[in-house]
Amino acid sequence: MRKGGAWWAWLTFAIGATYFLVPLIATLEFSMRQRNNPVFSLFGQGYSFGVFNNVFGDPRFQQTFTYSVLAAIFTILLGVLIVVPTAYWVRLRMPYLRPVIEFVTLLPLVIPAIVIVFGYIRMYGSNSMLPFLGTTGGTNVLLVIGYAVLSLPYMYRAVDTGLRTVDVPTLTEAAQILGAGWTTIIARVILPNVLIAVLSGAFLTFAIVIGEFTMASLLNRPAFGPYMQNLGANRAYEPAALAIIAFALTWGCMAMIQFLSRYAPRSANRPN
């Protein structure tokens, strides 16, 4: 290996970079094409940022985006509520259950989202035992539940990795000596210790939920994903602007995860 890199490595990198960067550049260019009131022009084509104003100013954008942000927040809360106590308890008392739990959390990667939501629609209709789909509020709850299922593999893995760096039995004993109950232990001892892991899982969940299309569309909820799809079918330049916004959002979430990982503890002070 020569210093500075082999030629084939640079060539591979250059080809890869071209394939990945050209669509981003093209999308940005497309979104800025504007016949009216161009701010500047290149090669005879006028450009402006006007379309971003159109997108951000569209009340439908604001409503659906807010809806999806709220859905993401509730999904994260539900995910934390289910995953943190379970992962903690399994590590403390039932380590033999770990393979089972891991298998279950990986199932959402095996069963496509469209199949899961199909099952919901058939099982939780207004005439069923649990008529989630009978009311708007119930449908919203079911959507959040569905999103929590989709994010289960990522959330569980993040929290479980975080717990690996925590001396769970000692912390539990110490808290119990001081008279803490299970809720206090989980909320005030365990959760702060795995907060960085939880936040990484949360940002990944956010990235998945914010533009999710399949579940929201089939449950007829006014979320950001179906809005984007609808706009794509009816407008020319706005979809490109939305793609740029969505890419920036994904980038932001991943950047947060990388940033947080710098503060994550590497190992437990004492082995579990």
Partner 1 sequence: MTEQTNVATMATPAVSKTRLPTQWLGVTPFFLFAVLFLVLPTMYLIIGAFQNSDGQFTLANIRQLFLDPSIRASYWVSIKISFWSAVLGALVGLAIALAIVRGGLPNWVRSATMTFSGVASNFAGVPLAFAFISTLGRLGLVTIILRDVFGLNLYTTGFNLLSSYGLILVYLYFQIPLMVVIITPALDGLRKEWGEAAATLGATPWQFWRMVLIPVLWPSFLGTVILLFANAFGAIATAYAFTGSSLNIVPILLYAQIRGDVLNDPHLGYALAFGMIFITGVANTFYIWFRTRSERWLK
Nearest distance, CB of residue 10 and partner 1, angstroms: 7
* Cα–Cα distance for residue pair 152/181, rounded to 1 Å: 26
Residue 16 touches partner 1, criterion: CB under 8 A: yes
Q: What dihedral angle (degrees, nearest 10) is formed by the CA atoms of 131, 100, 75, 134? A: -10
* Cα–Cα distance for residue pair 208/206, rounded to 1 Å: 5
Nearest distance, CB of residue 31 and partner 1, angstroms: 7
Residue 141 touches partner 1, criterion: CB under 8 A: no
Closest CA to 133 of 149, 148, 118, 113: 118
Query: Contact with partner 1 (CB under 8 A): which of 48, 63, 69, 89?
Result: 89
**By CB under 8 A, which span of 51-59, 187-195, 246-254, 263-271 interacts with partner 1?**
246-254
* Cα–Cα distance for residue pair 169/90, rounded to 1 Å: 12
Return the DSSP state at 264. Answer: S
Nearest distance, CB of residue 76 and partner 1, angstroms: 15
Residue 264 touches partner 1, criterion: CB under 8 A: no
Nearest distance, CB of residue 174 and partner 1, angstroms: 8
For partner 1 (CB under 8 A), the number of binding residues is 88
Locate tokens 């929201």: which residue? 216
SS3 33: strand
Residue 153 touches partner 1, criterion: CB under 8 A: no
Query: Contact with partner 1 (CB under 8 A): which of 108, 153, 162, 201?
Result: 108
Dihedrals phi, psi of 129, to nearest 5 degrees: -65, -40
**By CB under 8 A, which span of 49-57, 68-76, 142-150, 157-165 interacts with partner 1?**
142-150
Over the window 111 to 140, marking each residue x when it contacts partner 1 by CB under 8 A and - when it does not, the resulting string is xxxxxxxxxxxxx------x----------
Over the window 180 to 219, marking each residue x when it contacts partner 1 by CB under 8 A and - when it does not, the resulting string is ------------------------x--xx--xxxx---x-
Residue 47 touches partner 1, criterion: CB under 8 A: no
Nearest distance, CB of residue 239 and partner 1, angstroms: 4
Return the DSSP state at 4. Answer: T
Residue 77 touches partner 1, criterion: CB under 8 A: no
Joined tokens for residue 44:
């005879």
Residue 158 CA: distances (Å) to CA of 68, 109, 133: 22, 15, 31
In the region spanning residues 48 to 67, those forming contacts with partner 1, defined by CB under 8 A, are none
Joined tokens for residue 201:
């899982």
Residue 26 touches partner 1, criterion: CB under 8 A: yes
Dump strand ranges (E) for the chain.
40-42, 45-47
Residue 263 touches partner 1, criterion: CB under 8 A: no
Closest CA to 149 of 115, 198, 183, 191: 115
Query: Contact with partner 1 (CB under 8 A): which of 38, 134, 232, 265?
Result: 232
CB neighbours of residue 122 within 10 Å: 10
